[in-house]
Every structure is written in C-alpha cells, then in structure tokens.
Structure 1
Amino acid sequence: MPSPRPFSGYEFLIAWRYLRARRAEGGVSVMTWISLIGIALGVAALIVTLAVRTGFRAEFVDTILGANAHTTVYMSPTSFENELTGEIYTQPGRISDYDDMATRLAAIDGVIRTAPVVKGQVMATADGRANVAEVFGISAENLARIPRIADPETAYGNLSDFENGIAIGSGIARELGVGIGDRIRLIAPEGAQTAFGTTPRVNAYEITYIFTAGRYDIDRTRVYMPLAEAQSYFNREDVADEIEIYVDDPEHVANWTLPLIEAAGEGAQVWTWQDSSGSFLRALDIEDDVMFIILSVLVLIATMNITSGLIMLVKNKGRDIGILRTMGLTEGAVLRVFFLCGAFTGVIGTVIGVVLGVIVALNVDHIMALLGSGAWDASVRGIYELPSKLRAVDIGKAVALSLTLSFLVTIIPAARAARMNPVEALRYE
C-alpha cells in the first residue's frame, strides 16, 4: 500500500483538532493565544507604518512637483574688476535671451514646458503686520499651468485678473489678515539707485488671487507677480533669473541635466527638485528601512511565542503521538501535523493583522482627528494632514514576513515531536 502524500487531509484534520481542543484536553495554550494576538498586532502595525510612510513620501513629492519646477536652468555668476579701485565684484548670473533659451530648452525631447522666472526676497506688510515673502515673477500663462497653484477648488479669486495685481499664498493672507481686493506693500531691500546709495523699493499691489499649494512653507512665503512687473520691481529689465523646466518623468529628472546644459549654452547650470529635497527624501528612505526592521523584530518576538505554545502542546500530546506512531504515522507525518498547528496560528494571526491594518490605514486621518488638532503640526511637517497610501506590495511584504517567520519557528518543536519514541511515550500509560 503506497504511503499517503505529504500534507494529506488527515494531517490537516489532526492539526485543526488539536488547535480546537480545550486547554484541559491539552489543546491551545495561553501562549498560543498570545502569539496569535501578537502576530496580528505586529502585522497591522507594519502595514499601517508602511502605508503612512508611502503616503507621506507621495504627498511630499506631489506638493513639491505640484508647486515647483522639476528643474531650473540658471547662469553662473560673473566676476569683473573695477578699473579705478581694482576691487573684484561678483554679479549674479542673468539670462538676457530668456525667450530664445526657453524655446531651445522646450525643444528637448521629454520637456513638457518652460517658464522664464524672476525671483526676489521682500517684506510683505499690511495693516501693521509683516511677513517675509519670496516673489516669483512669471507670466500669467505659465502660472495657470502650475497644478497646485491654479487649483480652483482650493483658491480664491480669478487667475484672469493676475496681470492686474499679484497672487499670494493662503498662509501669507492669514498672517497679514488680507483677502481678495485688499492691497499689500512689498518692500525690497535693493531698490532705486540714488546719489546716496541704494534705497529700498516700496510698492503696493492689489491681491487678485489666493492659492493653497498644500505645503505650509510655500503657502506662508510665496508671492507670484507678473513677469514684466517683477522685472521692473527688482531692476531686472529685459532679463530673467532662471528658466523653470517641467519634464514628463520628474522621478528621473537627472536624465535631462546634460541635454539642458548643452542647449542653454556656456555658463549654464542646472538645479533639480531632487537636489533641493534629496537629503530629505534619502532620510525618508533610511527611516523606512529602520522602521521595517524594528517592526520585523516585533513580529519575530510574537512568532517566537508559537514555539513556546507548540512545545507545551507536544508535551501534552505525548500519549497521542505514541498512539499515532504505533498506528503507522511516520516521523514526517507527525512533523507535518505539529508544523500545521503552528502554521495555522501564524496564518490566522496574519489574516487578522492584514484586516486590522488595512482598516486603520484607510482611516488614519480620522484617527488623527480624534486625537485633536495638535496631534499633527503642519508647520513642522510641511503638509496639512497625515497621508496614507496602501500598496499591494507593502501588504505583500508584511504577509510574507509574518508567514515566513511563523513557518520557520514551528520547525524545531515539530521536529522534536517527530523524534519522540512511541515506546517511551506510552511506557507509563
């Protein structure tokens, strides 16, 4: 008579019978319940953590790319010597042929659009209140193509009126207590040149548009001004400070660095969004790895309780093992029976953990709301709410880790049960 194939139905039946037995009958121990609950909580914590970290990175990158250029082209500073005094002066790089350069850059394969920009730092004041602001001089057409800025659902005012005033972030509007139609004064340290030196330039502008980009630092400091007005205000007549570039694959924006430099010409330099935020993104990646390792250790500790529970189960079932061996069960069959006992615990705990983790990950923003408004500080974290993004690959990693550890820790006690001598097991029965 041929031997039954491994993991036959009777092996599952015996294993399940042992798990369902009452403790008085030598069944599931307290340690097994602890391991099941521990695995469920460990898997849930791992899924929620991975979802939050993935969501945070996705939201952070989206707010960067939705309100900033993917990369910028600017010219290197130039130095010259004063013939009278012999002193060396450094002049910031300027782009005089910015329209032609923007056209050349836009012709590169993969470049979606380009936008000449004038930038400057100012002090914004209104009704005795003041706030530092960064001014971007840009055309109305290019401003309307910035996703996080030209968003009618989160903005106030009309972009069609941009040429008649300025657009400011909602944070600046809140700090200064102003709204659509109000006027604010912008004070630039480098203004008109007089016989007595440089005097600050003070101009008043009407607010025609208020945007919310989703980033606290952007909403609290950014001001958009029509390009021609910014050139006049910052003494940049007929020049631009940089050309903003948008590409079709911003995650691999470095691939365009060399073509952009070649198209821009001598003295051109490139600064990508990854250059400005790369250290923070790398910190996020390192934190993801560390958190995964820490939570993996927690799952391992929970699965180790399976070993304790199985050892107790094997001890209580010594008589049964002896009877099963005398009935013809092989060592391999006994090993598989007790392996399945531990595997059932791991599988059930993992399934419960996945369900619990998915539920929490999908409602993490509501949970944070219950903790109060102070639980999430946008001024520290840059974004206004705790994001969560579930990915199948993250759930798969949590499930694979839990099941692998659960299966591995059952091998030793299951092998111990398989090596038990039936004669010794039944000696005193």
Structure 2
Amino acid sequence: MAQATRPFAPFEFMIAWRYLRARRAEGGVSVMTWISLVGIALGVMALVATLAVRSGFRTEYVQTILGANSHAEIGAYPQAMDNGIVNISIPDYAEVTARIEAIPGVTRANPRIAGFSMISYGDRATVGEVLGVAPNVLAELPTFRGAPEATGDIGRFEAGIAIGSGIARALGVIPGDKVKLLQPNGVKTAFGTSPRVNVYEVTYIFSVGRADVDSARIYMPFAEAQSFFNREGVADQIEIFVDDPEGIDALVPDLLQASGQGRYVWTWKDRSSAFLAALSIEDDVMFVILALIVLIATMNITSGLVMLVKNKGRDIGILRTMGLTEGSVLRVFFLCGAFVGVIGTIAGVILGCLIAWNVDGIMSAVNWATGGGAWDPSIRGIYRLPAELRGWDVFRAVALSLSLSFIVTIFPARRAARMNPVEALRYE
C-alpha cells in the first residue's frame, strides 16, 4: 500500500518543473503555457498600472484642492433684514476668527470676501470669481508659494490683484498691465445703482495646476474687496486651515460651536464629495473589470493543464504503480499551474511598476503621437497624468492573480490525481 509523502516534497517540485519544460513533441502544451504566462503578466500589469494611476490621480486632485483652497469655510445662513435685503455676511468676523484659531488642530483662519466680476483688458473680457483675502494669505497657500509657472511678484499683491494663468492668456496680459474690473452692484445714487468700474494692476499671475482655478479665479486684497463689493465692516466667509485635512470632519463640532448661531461649516470634502465619491466608485469598477481580464488569462492555465494531463497519462500511470499517491499527483499538477501563475504575476508586477514609474514619459510619447490631444487639462482638471504606487494596491493585484491561478488549477489537478493507472497503461 502506498504511503503518504510529505506535502510539497522536493521531488514534487522537480517533476512539476520538468513537466512544464515540454519537449518539441509536446509543443501544444508549451504554447499554452506561454499563452497563460503572458496573459497573466499583461493582466496584472494593467491592474497595477491602472491602480497606480487612479491613486495618483486622487492624490494629485486632493493636493490641488488643498493647495488652492481652504480646508473648511465658515458661512452664515441667509437672514432677512428690515429693509427686505437678505444678509449672508459675518459682521463679527474678527471675534469668530480669534475663537477658531484657538481650537487645537487649526493652523490659521482668515476672513474672506467672495463675489464675481467682469475683467477686461483692451477689447477682451471674461468673468472671474473674485476672492478678497489678506495680503499674507495668498503667499501661504501651498500651490502659490514658489510655483514655477507663476510670474510677477507675490510680495506686491497688496498693490494690485492676482489672476490665474488661464485668465491672463484669455486677456493677453502680463504682470504690470492694468485691467478693469466691473461690478454691477456699485455706487447707489438718486437715479439707482450704477456699476462700479475700477482699474487694477496685475501684480501676480499664478498657476496652481487646476484648469478650473487658473481660468476663473482673481485675488484682491481684503480691504479693497470690501469696498469693491460694498461689504464694509463684514466678511462673506472665514477660511480655515488645519494640520490634518483628511481628519477635518472631527473638527466640525468645535468649529460650529466657535462660529456662533446661524453659521455653517463647509469642508473641502463637502465641496468635492461628488467627485471623490465618483473616484471611489470608479476605482471599484476598474478593479472588477481588470480582475475579469486576469480571470480570463488564468483560465488558459486550465486549458494547458488539461492538455498536459492528457499527454502525461502514461507517466501518471507509471508513477502511480511506483507508489506515488493521489495527493502527490494532485500537488504535482497543482504546482505546474502555480508556477505559471507565480511567474506571470511577478512579470506583471514588474511591468506594471515600470509603467507607473515612467507614466509621464509614456504620456508625453502618446501626446506627441496624437498631436498633443491625448490629455486636455480643461476637461480633466489637472495638467498631467500622475501615478502613485501603493503597497496595498500592489498587494491586491498579487493576491487576486495568485488566488485565481491557484483556484483554476485545482480541477485539472484533481482529474490527474483520480486517473486510474490501469486505464492509463492499458494500451502501452
């Protein structure tokens, strides 16, 4: 009676490896092995590269959000005044700002004026979102401080205005040019309200890396914005910056308490919740789709093993008569499929990492081949295709590939183990 051998003994690895190295007469098995290996490698490569790009895209998007915007904002709910005007301003902004800055975890807070205005230069005009902030606030924003694409002197911000690079291109202006800003709710006279038109020098042109910001935003000194928008003595919002932007939700109760009655807190996650949710859903969908590609690739292992079992029927019969157990035969053919899965997975991870590390060069080549239309920042919001390799993403890809490779190997391996040695050697 055959005695059980130690599972995955060295001779089982040796037999499995020799079976994979098919001779010329068994070229079909060799071809199927290579097809399986290449298919798994390409599937894992696509999975690793895609997950890296998706992670990098989210990181880049969040960094541009946090680099050009506050982490949270305090605003006032609309209140009807005695004269019928709806008020949404914050008159006690200085006291509220001081209370907010005293909260642990808050790095700074500052009042802000917000509005829209038409900006013109010569015969060209566009509409921009005007934000009135203190002179030091603009220089402290991460994407404004030392931005390589920026022009002008941010230190002279108080002497004029700062505009986005998209607005500058649309108007054809450079630092030092003077532009006109038109605000319809201007000076109130006996004949009604006349528009306010002021002339400002462009002291700084910024480029934060997001097309929607660079093409629509104008910064103005806080005091000048109060006068320009008829907000003397009040602020529209209070910007808040914290140590840990990802943990901003934990500070919301304290911020609400410090802001007072009739105020609300609007975080950067609330502002971009729809987009961040869409990214999460897209990540899950992409993982499922690419997992199906890996599954189809691993199914070739089954085809190759079925052919291998058929070609090795005589060998199986001889090994069984020599005392090899069913378990040993099962493990031998399981190892055949596992070798293909492991080698294909390793090759796929290496190729995927190489693509993720060189995605900028690859995208530049694609842009050159397509005439520069492969990446439109006005649609995608950022100027480049980023990639960020994360250990968790690579682990998920490896675990998926190996799990599928091992699972699809079980059926042909069991078929080989249950083969009757008498039937296998009957016609030999």
Write the mapping of 1:42-191 to structure 2, written as runs, cut at 5 A: 42-82=43-83, 89-191=84-186
SS in 2 for 1:109: coil
Distance 1:349 1:246 in 2: 47
The residue aligned with 2:250 is 255
Spell out structure 1 runs of 4+ moving beyond 6 A: none
SS in 1 for 2:205: strand
Q: Is the 8 A contact 1:150 1:211 kept in 2?
A: no
Distance 1:361 1:152, change over 3 A: closer
Distance 2:412 2:147 in 1: 64
SS in 2 for 1:28: helix
The residue aligned with 1:203 is 198
The question of 1:17 aligning with 2:12 is answered no
Post-superposition CA distance 1:398-424 (Å, at most 9, x none) = 010000000000001001000011111
Distance 1:379 1:149 in 2: 20
Distance 2:87 2:62 in 1: 30
SS in 1 for 2:272: helix
The residue aligned with 2:425 is 426
Q: Is the 8 A contact 2:44 2:349 kept in 1?
A: yes
Distance 1:225 1:81 in 2: 31
The residue aligned with 1:85 is none
Write the mapping of 1:217-236 to structure 2, written as runs, cut at 5 A: 217-236=212-231
Counterpart of 1:337 in structure 2: which amino acid?
V
Post-superposition CA distance 1:100-129 (Å, at most 9, x none) = 211111101111110110111001110211
Distance 1:193 1:349 in 2: 75
Q: Is the 8 A contact 1:26 1:317 kept in 2?
A: no
Counterpart of 1:13 in structure 2: which amino acid?
M
Aligned partner (choices 278, 284, 288) of residue 289 of structure 1: 284
Post-superposition CA distance 1:192-246 (Å, at most 9, x none) = 1111211111111001111111100101111111111111111111111110001
Over the matched positions of the two proteins, sequence identity in percent amounts to 63
Counterpart of 2:18 in structure 1: which amino acid?
R
The residue aligned with 1:370 is 365
Distance 1:172 1:150 in 2: 19
The residue aligned with 1:417 is 416
Listed as ranges, the gaps of 5+ residues in structure 1 are: 83-88
What is the CA distance between 1:29 and its match in structure 2?
Answer: 3.5
Q: Is the 8 A contact 1:29 1:312 kept in 2?
A: no
SS in 2 for 1:192: strand
Distance 2:28 2:414 in 1: 19
What is the CA distance between 1:42 and its match in structure 2?
Answer: 0.5
Counterpart of 2:5 in structure 1: which amino acid?
P
What is the CA distance between 1:28 and its match in structure 2?
Answer: 3.1
TM-score normalised by the chain length of structure 1:
0.96
Distance 1:53 1:152 in 2: 25
What is the CA distance between 1:31 and its match in structure 2?
Answer: 2.2
Q: Is the 8 A contact 1:48 1:357 kept in 2?
A: yes
Distance 2:331 2:377 in 1: 53
Counterpart of 1:65 in structure 2: which amino acid?
L
Q: Is the 8 A contact 1:154 1:212 kept in 2?
A: yes
Q: Is the 8 A contact 1:29 1:313 kept in 2?
A: no
The residue aligned with 2:388 is 389
Distance 1:75 1:331, change over 3 A: same
The residue aligned with 2:6 is 5
Q: Is the 8 A contact 2:147 2:207 kept in 1?
A: no
SS in 2 for 1:198: strand
Aligned partner (choices 233, 238, 242) of residue 233 of structure 2: 238
Distance 1:26 1:128, change over 3 A: closer
Counterpart of 1:377 in structure 2: which amino acid?
D
Write the mapping of 1:287-366 to structure 2, written as runs, cut at 5 A: 287-366=282-361
Distance 1:200 1:368 in 2: 47
The question of 1:271 aligning with 2:248 is answered no
What is the CA distance between 1:75 and its match in structure 2?
Answer: 1.3
Counterpart of 1:324 in structure 2: which amino acid?
L
Counterpart of 1:79 in structure 2: which amino acid?
A
What is the CA distance between 1:274 and its match in structure 2?
Answer: 1.1
Distance 2:303 2:378 in 1: 48
SS in 1 for 2:81: strand
Q: Is the 8 A contact 2:43 2:348 kept in 1?
A: yes
Distance 1:383 1:326 in 2: 67
Post-superposition CA distance 1:289-310 (Å, at most 9, x none) = 0110011011001101100110
Return 62-71 or 145-154, whichever deviates more. Answer: 145-154
Post-superposition CA distance 1:338-373 (Å, at most 9, x none) = 000000110111111111111111112211211222
Post-superposition CA distance 1:147-206 (Å, at most 9, x none) = 112224232122221111111111111111111111111111211111121111111100
What is the CA distance between 1:260 and its match in structure 2?
Answer: 1.0
Distance 2:349 2:362 in 1: 18
Distance 2:408 2:422 in 1: 27
Distance 1:260 1:6 in 2: 62
Listed as ranges, the gaps of 5+ residues in structure 2 are: none
Q: Is the 8 A contact 2:305 2:333 kept in 1?
A: yes
Distance 2:393 2:43 in 1: 14
Post-superposition CA distance 1:373-396 (Å, at most 9, x none) = 210010001000111111111111
The residue aligned with 2:407 is 408
